[in-house]
Amino acid sequence: SAQSDSSDNIANAIFIDRRVVDFGDIPPQNVYRSFCMIGGESGWFGYDWLWKIRGVIDKLFGGAGINRGRRDSHHLRVGDSVDFWKVVDLVENERLLLFAQMKLPGKAWLEFKIQGDQLIQSAYFYPDGVSGRLYWYALVPIHHLIFGNMASSILKRAENSDGNLP
């Protein structure tokens, strides 16, 4: 019988920044619609200037930058571009998974999930060697600002909607 060595577990190789926020009596569909409005003209729920700087850095390294925007400001489908992200999974009133298409020393995903009365926001990063690890650790303070604010801002937008979002 084969034993699983913890060093073989891919979960040990991925960096995760996860925020879990209770949304109480806000209807889950409002939370879903709120996080599905991310990017493009709606912005990134605060600290848009940091995302714009990241877009400039991406262009300097030969990427598309943040200028791609969105196909539709209110509706998403798998395959859509959202600035320098791509929608890779979408489950109505449950989940949005974005894959980073920016130049990175690794691979990154941004996920929004609704479980019960909680919004679970996760940034995943699979580093490419030492440069990827250094990149992740260098951005920890910025991620703290951006991702902490993002989850609460998603819920503020959901709470302030009248349930009739487009």
Side by side, the strands of the sheet bearing 95-100 are: 15-22, 118-127, 106-115, 95-100, 85-91, 81-82
Q: Does residue 46 register a pLDDT over 90? A: no
Q: Which two tokens mark 72?
A: 């539709």
Q: Letter for the amino acid at 8?
A: D
Instruction: Enumerate the domain spans of the chain.
Output: 23-160
In this prediction, residue 39 carries a pLDDT of 85
Q: Which among 136, 119, 142, 122 is positioned nearest to 33, based on CA atoms? A: 119
Between the ranges 47-51, 97-101, 139-143, where is the mean pLDDT highest? Answer: 97-101
pLDDT tens for each residue of 101-155: 888 899 999 999 999 999 999 999 999 999 999 999 998 988 888 888 899 999 9
Predicted pLDDT at 162: 58
- Within the chain, residue ranges assigned H as helices are 28-35, 48-60, 129-160
Confidence check: pLDDT of 164 > 70 = no
Question: Which pLDDT score is estimated for 62?
Answer: 73
Q: Please tell us whether the domain made up of 23-160 is placed in CATH 3.30.530.
A: yes
Mean pLDDT score, 52-57? 74
pLDDT reported for residue 2: 47
